[in-house]
Amino acid sequence: MSGYFNHIDPIKFEGKDSDNPLAFKYYDANKKVMGKTMAEHLRMAVCYWHTFCWDGFDVFGGGTFDRPWHGNNNDQAAAEAKLDAAFDFFDRLGNDFWCFHDTDVMAAANTPREHVENFAAILDKIEAKMDSRDIKLLWGTANMFSHPRYMAGASTNPNPDVVAFCALQVQKAMEATHRLGGSGYVLWGGREGYDTILNTNVKQEMEQLGRFVTMAVEHKHKIGFKGDIWIEPKPHEPTKHQYDRDVATVYGFLKEYGLEKEVGVNIEPNHATLAGNSFEHEVEMANAFGIFGSIDFNRGDPQNGWDTDQFPNDLRENTMALYYILKGGGFKNGGANFDAKVRRQSRDAEDLFYAHIGGMDLLARALENAAGLIESEKLSGFVQDRYAGWDKGIGKDMMSGKLSLSEMADAALKSNLSPEPISGRQEHLENIVTLAVK
Ligand code: XLS
Ligand code: NI
Ligand code: NI
């Protein structure tokens, strides 16, 4: 036990009239919404990296948090101290899931053999922690972007020896995820892209990525991992152009390599907005392609053009996202993790709790709002009516392939109709959402 969180009592649900900032006002794990509990719907996870690894540094200055487990050496003792603190935090917050990168949890390693040894050493400890609790692993991943060896990319690196190191990290991280009972495995291609086209062979790199993801899928089947693999789209940052730009781009990539039935997406709203998309657009595109997986729930800042990774607090945006998530059938193996970090001045233990409590309460409200929108059928009914023409007549015949272009054209000549434009009712529909955001 680290002691760092000792002054914080386990967080309880106290209801919306509570004044206690260290209590849930809306997240009532066992409350039923559309037939499932809030906990079952949301599958909320704490992310190890921002919450326990980041020390508050930014590009202009060093760490500000002074956590007792952040020593100068990232050795096994430090990794174990961090693990104790993390599980002590989970015990108090009561989150059902967590997620991690290999390098978050282990002692620093420089060589491939050291990587295997250090990762294995901490895995036994993690397993022991998990065995004595109810907490589950939402997903695991490998960090293939922080070490200088990855400055020119991970699986898209010009040097095959670097890609071999990636293969080792993915192999071990996926096996660890499987061993710890994880539901998913994430591939975020942090440096799978380029800074200048002048030094880059784009076709070669795309093919490396295609082959590498195929190898990861083959390995999943070889070891019998039954969870999902998800790619996390992001358009840029750290590289100028990233190959996994957004959901539609990832789908094109998956189709090209025959992986669209094997790999889904882990959507992050801040990445969506950086790509010029709304959060709900990305969710609905993933639903349309059948690749919806999981969500990293953070937010950006409307005035800043980078991945600020802030805890979510926009009820309307998250109501919309949850509406499309529920409409698509909700989370299966996926869930809601907070890929978000407290601000650099939020340096106290309490701040970590305020952040997660706020995010969990927000998602609980957004879930109830979204369920209300689904149940009222006002939005879905409107959309259904709008497209009703495709269930019959020439609409149906065109879509079933019965009509050629000329036959469809003949239908226009035959009816000689100049169809009346019909209102899209945008403001009316927006009002329905506004009234549902409570
Ligand atoms: C960075 C990403 C990263 C992934 C996991 O922008 O969001 O944190 O979620 O590697
Ligand atoms: Ni993320
Ligand atoms: Ni991100």
Q: DSSP states of 190-245 as a string?
A: TTSEES-GGG--HHHHHHHHHHHHHHHHHHHHHHT--SEEEE---SSSSSSEESS-
Identify the band that residue 103 occupies on the pLDDT scale cut at 50, 70 and 90: very high
Average pLDDT, the chain: 97
> To test ligand 1's pocket by mutation, which of 296, 306, 337 has the most ligand atoms within 8 angstroms of CB?
296
Task: Tell me the C-alpha to C-alpha distance, in Å, between residue 280 and each of 69, 145, 318.
Answer: 38, 28, 8
Ligand 1 atom nearest to 234, measured from its CA: 6
Is the full-model pTM beyond 0.95?
A: yes
Ligand 1, pocket residues at CB < 6 Å: 101, 141, 186, 188, 232, 234, 268, 296, 307, 339
Q: Whose C-alpha lies nearest to ligand 1, atom 10?
A: 188
Query: Atom 8 (ligand 1): residue with closest C-alpha?
Result: 339
pLDDT of amino acid 392: 98
**Which residue has a Cα nearest atom 6 of ligand 1?**
307
Given a cut of 90, whether residue 2 has pLDDT beyond it is no
For residue 168, count other CB atoms closer than 10 A to its CB.
16
Q: Which pLDDT score is estimated for 73?
A: 85
State both tokens at 88. 């002590």
Residue 188 burial by Cβ neighbours in a 10 Å radius (0-12, 13-18, 19+): buried
Name the residues annotated as catalytic.
101, 104
For residue 300, the ligand closest to its alpha carbon is 3
> Would you say 268 and 234 are in contact if contact means Cβ atoms under 8 Å apart?
yes
Residue from 144, 177, 339 whose mutation best tests the ligand 1 pocket (most atoms within 8 A of CB):
339
Count of helices and strands (H, E) across the chain = 16, 14
CA distance 146 to 156: 15
Q: Whose CA is nearest to atom 5 of ligand 1?
A: 188
Name the residue among 73, 65, 80, 88 with its Cα closest to residue 1: 88
Task: Name residues with Cβ closer than 5 Å to ligand 3, which is an ion.
Answer: 268, 307
Q: What's the confidence (pLDDT) of residue 235?
A: 98
Flag whether pLDDT at 11 surpasses 60.
yes
The structure tokens listed for 93 are 């917050």
Q: Indicate the length of the chain as a whole number.
A: 438
Q: Give me the pLDDT at residue 357, please.
A: 98
Please state the rounded mean pLDDT for residues 359-385: 98
Q: State the distance from the centre of ligand 3 to the C-alpha of 59, rounded, in angstroms.
A: 17
CATH 3.20.20.150 placement within the chain: 12-376
Nearest residue (by CA) to ligand 1, atom 3, is: 188
Ligand nearest to the CA of 50: 1
Give residue-wise pLDDT tens across range 117-169: 999 999 999 999 999 999 999 999 999 999 999 999 999 999 999 999 999 99
Cβ-proximal residues to 301 (8 Å cutoff; 6+ apart), any chain: 308, 310
Q: Residue whose CA is closest, atom 1 of ligand 1?
A: 190
CA 247 from centroid of its chain's CA atoms: 12
Ligand with smallest separation from the Cα of 190: 1
Whether pLDDT at 1 is above 60: no
At residue 72 the predicted structure's pLDDT band, cuts being 50, 70 and 90, is confident
* Model confidence at 366: pLDDT above 80: yes
Gap from CA of 122 to ligand 3 centroid (Å): 25
Q: Which ligand neighbours the alpha carbon of 267 most closely?
A: 2
Closest atom, ligand 1, to C-alpha of 266: 9
Question: Cα of 338 to ligand 3 centre, how many Å?
Answer: 10
> Quick one: CATH architecture of 12-376?
Alpha-Beta Barrel (3.20)
Query: Hey, whose CA ends up nearest to atom 7 of ligand 1?
Result: 339
List the Cα angle 430/431/433 in 5-degree steps. Answer: 65
CA 295 – CA 268 distance, rounded (Å): 6
**Which tokens hold the place of 120?**
């294995």
**Beta bridge partners of residue 186, listed in sequence order:** 141, 230
Q: How confident is the model at residue 224 (pLDDT cuts 50, 70, 90)?
A: very high
pLDDT band at 71 (very low <50, low <70, confident <90, very high): confident
Q: How far is the CA of 235 from the centre of ligand 3 (A)?
A: 10
What is the b/e burial string over 28-51, where b = at least 16 CB atoms within 10 angstroms of the residue's CB?
bbebebeeeebbbbbbbbbbbbbb
* Neighbouring-strand partners of residue 58: 61
**Candidates 52, 229, 234, 268: which one to mutate for ligand 1, based on the most atoms within 8 Å of Cβ?**
268
Rounded to an integer, what distance in angstroms lies between the CA atom of residue 368 and that of residue 67? 36
Q: What is the mean pLDDT of residues 228-246?
A: 98
Mean pLDDT for the stretch of residues 54-78: 94
Q: Is 139 helix (H, G, I), strand (E, B) or coil?
A: strand
Q: Which residues pair with 126 in a beta bridge?
A: none
Q: How far is the CA of 51 from the centre of ligand 1 (A)?
A: 13
Would you give the DSSP letter of residue 312? Answer: P
Residues 6+ apart with CB under 8 A from 325: 283, 292, 295, 331, 370
Q: How far is the CA of 407 from the centre of ligand 1 (A)?
A: 50
Give the pair of three-digit tokens for residue 234.
């992001």
What average pLDDT does range 338-362 have in this prediction?
98
Atom of ligand 1 nearest to the CA of 298: 7
Distance from Cα 299 to the centre of ligand 3, integer Å: 9
Position 381, amino acid: G
pLDDT digits (tens, 9 = 90+) for 405-421: 999 999 999 999 999 99
Say if residue 256's pLDDT is above 60: yes
